[in-house]
Structure 1
Amino acid sequence: MAKLEVCCFGVDCALQAEKAGADRVELCAAPSEGGLTPSAGMLRQARQQLTLPVHPIIRPRGGDFCYSANEFAVICEDIALVKELGFSGLVVGILDNDGHIDMTRMRILMRLCEGMAVTFHRAFDLCHNPAIALQQLSDLGVARILTSGQQQSAEIGLGLLRELTALSCGPIIMAGAGVRLSNITKFLDAGIEELHSSASQQVGSSMRYRKAGVTMCSNSETDEFTRQSVDGVMVEAMKNVMTSHTLAVAT
């Protein structure tokens, strides 16, 4: 049966995803950066409160995926903490400055991740050659690749996603970026086994007092009194569609 991974930016968010029937959570901080490594506190609370598989992202900063020596050292330290806490898997990815998988560093990370399922994240979508990258990641033994098919959204990249799924003899190809209830059957019909979605909505702050004209972000358009959170109803609806699709195919 196809699986739904929900991207969650906090433990409360992840608890909603679990209650709604998500198969797995990708745990992140900093949604405006596209997801960064969760804090130690968030990681510990996730291990204490959640029962479904939780895979934290290991990403020390926003921007590209070509890291300095210090940044790489931070990645290694964060992986060590995630392993020590007993997570079943994590999400990571490193490229070199020519847009290829950084095989030297990824081999080091794979040794550090022994015993955990490794998802190579959307750094794959910035790779120079997806077919070569797929082969390299297969050789490394990664469990899955999160990708939009090297397009802005997975729906636009569906052609490459289908090709990668057919080519892969190792990693699961997991479609992510713009995967939602309205287009989920397109991915299922293409034979994609795992889907990644934020399944999110904007929720308002519980604060009654609202200070106007002050923002914590350099973008003055940012609203400090709304935030992104998982929509449990949406997660449940997506899982229902996935289950119905599986049953229809089986009959």
Structure 2
Amino acid sequence: MALLEICCYSMECAREAQQQGADRIELCAAPLEGGLTPSAGVLKSVRQQVTIPVHPIVRPRGGDFCYTEGEFAAMLEDIRTLRELGFPGLVTGVLNADGQVDLPRMRLIMEAAGPLAVTFHRAFDMCADPLETFRQLASLGVARILTSGQQQSAEKGLSLIRELIAESRTPIIMAGAGVRANNLTLFLEAGVTELHSSAGQWLPSPMRFRNPGLSMSTDPDADEYSRYAVNGASVAEMKTIVSRYAK
């Protein structure tokens, strides 16, 4: 049966995803940045309250995946922290300025990760040569690649996803970006064995007092009074589809 991974941005969301049938959690902060390294407090609370596998993302900032020396040093330190806390895996990725895997840095990441399963995230979708990158990541021992097939959504990138699956059984190809209940069967029929979804929704703030003339964001149009959260019903619906397909 295909595995369902849910991207979560808080301990509460991770717990909800677990209760609704998720098989694994990708734990992140900052949804508007596409996911950044969670805080120490979130990491510790999730380790205490969530029993399914949790793979935190190690990403120091938004934007590209070509990091400064200081940013990369912080990434290695974060990976050591994840090992100390007992997480079974992590999600990360680094590229060089030419859109290739930064092999020296990825070797350091793999060394720092040790026994942790490493998922190379959607930095893969920003690389110049996906097939060569796939082979390089396989040689490094990366466990899986999260990809949309280098398209805006995994549904649009399904042809490359199929090609990568045909290349080899390792690393595992996990389809992500726009994976929802209404298109889940497309991926299952294509032979995808791991699925990644945020299953998210924007919830209104409980605050009654609001200051409409002030924003804490650099984006003047940002909504200060909503937050991103897992939709438990969506997780349950997807899990049901995956389970039925396996029978």
Q: Name the TM-score, length of structure 2 as normaliser.
A: 0.98
The equivalent residue for 1:35 is: 35
SS at match of 1:66: coil
Give the conservation status (yes or no) of the 8 Å contact 1:173–1:193: yes
Between the aligned residues of both structures, percent identity stands at 58
Inter-partner Cα distance in structure 2 for 1:61 and 1:71 = 8
1:164 aligns with 2:176: no
Give the conservation status (yes or no) of the 8 Å contact 1:153–1:178: yes
1:216 aligns with 2:216: yes
Shift of 1:169: 3.6
Inter-partner Cα distance in structure 1 for 2:164 and 2:110 = 22
Shift of 1:200: 0.6
- Corresponding letter in the other structure for 2:241: V
Shift of 1:186: 0.4
- Corresponding letter in the other structure for 1:101: V
- Corresponding letter in the other structure for 2:100: H
Q: Give the ranges of 4+ consecutive aligned residues of structure 1 lying more than 6 Å apart after TM superposition.
A: none
Deviates more, 1:200-209 or 1:100-109: 200-209
The equivalent residue for 2:136 is: 136
Shift of 1:83: 0.6
Alignment of 1:6-45 (within 5 A): 6-45=6-45
The equivalent residue for 1:174 is: 174
Inter-partner Cα distance in structure 1 for 2:168 and 2:49 = 35
Give the conservation status (yes or no) of the 8 Å contact 1:138–1:169: no
Inter-partner Cα distance in structure 2 for 1:43 and 1:82 = 8
Shift of 1:113: 0.6
The equivalent residue for 1:201 is: 201
Report the RMSD for the aligned CA atoms in angstroms. Answer: 0.7
The equivalent residue for 1:76 is: 76
Structure 2, unpaired ranges of 5+: none
Structure 1, unpaired ranges of 5+: none
Give the conservation status (yes or no) of the 8 Å contact 1:134–1:168: no
